[in-house]
Amino acid sequence: MLNRVVITGYGVVCPIGYSTAEMMAGLAGGACATKRMPAEWNRFGPLRCQVGAPIELRDPKAIPRPQRRTMSSMSILGVQATIQAMAHAGLDPKDVPENPRFGVIMGSTTGSPEAITNTYELLIGKHEYMMLGASEFFRCVSHTVALNVAQYLGCKGVVSATSAACASGLQAVGAAYDQVRLGRQDIIVCGGAEELHETTVGSFDILYAASSKFNDSPSKTPRPFDKDRDGLVCGAGAGTIVIESYEHAMKRGAKIYAEVLGYHTCSNGTHVSQSDESSMITCMNTTLEEAKLRASDIGYVGAHATGTEQGDAAESRALAGVFGSEIPVSSLKGNMGHTLGASGPIELAATIEMMNAGVIHPTHNLDEVDPACAGIAHVRKSTPHKFNAFLKNSFAFGGINSAIACAVVR
């Protein structure tokens, strides 16, 4: 027998809010976090993209220095989101070190880009390993967020990291779902975190995937599904989801915000950077099949849509192929930019909030739907809408697709 799996808490630090409540107020108010970035943005050469969705850290010194010294800003954000999620779930951090069935799974695109850049600048410039600080390694490693969250909590259970670009955070949630439904852990904090750094933006800039036409009017980008979209806007952020078995949640009297019914991840196996609607359709249909849901049971789809020309068009065709033109669809990246490996759990938390409040927030900056993105029910304004189940997508370079289906507890 597989365990039922539920979500009992979440925490968010994102460009439009330093908490779930701030984020939802930003979505309701039509906030856009995109800003023109400073001249230092171009220290490795001029970028076409001069915009980003940054975060200013709040009170990082609340994390004790012995733990904070191995943390870059992305790990600090991850710990802060986890602190929020633990409180939201009614969990006492003091209980974690005593529980070998409490785990941590956190994802990110890479280790800290800032730490990696600093490390190589020292190595190449000085040719001397001994100039590196003892803690720098722990900021650079690909599992830096997972290890720092786990060490902060004193975790004795499963600790794992997912690294699949923009799908990293949702894959972490999916991995936690599998651990809990198979009975290997009772409860897991999971999600993802990212920094905003010019080298990350540069990787998209080289591929002509970053927005560059709105450098002088940053609040007008990104523009998911819009005819004038010209690429994504990178952002910083972190999202943590508390995944728990239904039985464990009931025993401790936890409030349940949603039940996870299905999850799937797959590859297109055809192209490293071009989106492929057929594999997206496979991913969504397999998720629905595992969830024992029909497409018509879904009341809302949280699109991945980042504002890239090909990605948004392919996702639109895939959504039309699975859901037709009746199910409401929106992307939240027009408000907060693309927080990469953190985007899945951040947007998952927002979607659960919308489901429980009976409202859908629109795709910001969607002024005129591109004909290539037609055929689906775009949400153009905040709309009261009762729905009991939803699907959330996260897609990534490398041909990686992931989707999760959640519902109110039956």
Helices assigned H by DSSP within 216-276: 246-251
Catalytic residue (one of 166, 190, 373, 406): 166
User: How close are the terminal C-alpha atoms of the chain, in Å?
Assistant: 18
**Phi, psi for 277 (deg, rounded to 5):** -65, -30
**Phi, psi for 128 (deg, rounded to 5):** -150, 110
Whether 119 and 136 have beta carbons less than 8 Å apart is answered as yes
Q: Which two tokens stand for residue 130?
A: 């001994």
Catalytic residue (one of 338, 361, 364, 378): 338
Report how far residue 168's alpha carbon sits from residue 162's, in angstroms, rounded to the nearest whole number.
5
166 in catalytic set: yes
Angle among Cα 275, 203, 136 to the nearest 5 degrees reads: 125
Please classify residue 248 by burial: count the beta carbons closer than 10 Å to its beta carbon, then call 0-12 exposed, 13-18 middle and 19+ buried: middle
**Phi, psi for 111 (deg, rounded to 5):** -70, -175
Catalytic residue (one of 197, 264, 304, 364): 304
**Phi, psi for 12 (deg, rounded to 5):** -140, 135
CA dihedral sign, ordered 92, 96, 98, 100:
positive
Report how far residue 257's alpha carbon sits from residue 349's, in angstroms, rounded to the nearest whole number.
10
127 in catalytic set: no
Q: Of 408, 406, 262, which is closest to residue 348 (Cα–Cα)?
A: 406
Q: Which two tokens stand for residue 157?
A: 């259970």
Count the neighbouring beta carbons within 10 Å of the beta carbon of residue 299. Answer: 17
Q: Of 181, 111, 193, 186, which is closest to residue 155 (Cα–Cα)?
A: 186
Chain centroid to CA 195: 12
Known catalytic residues are 166, 304, 338
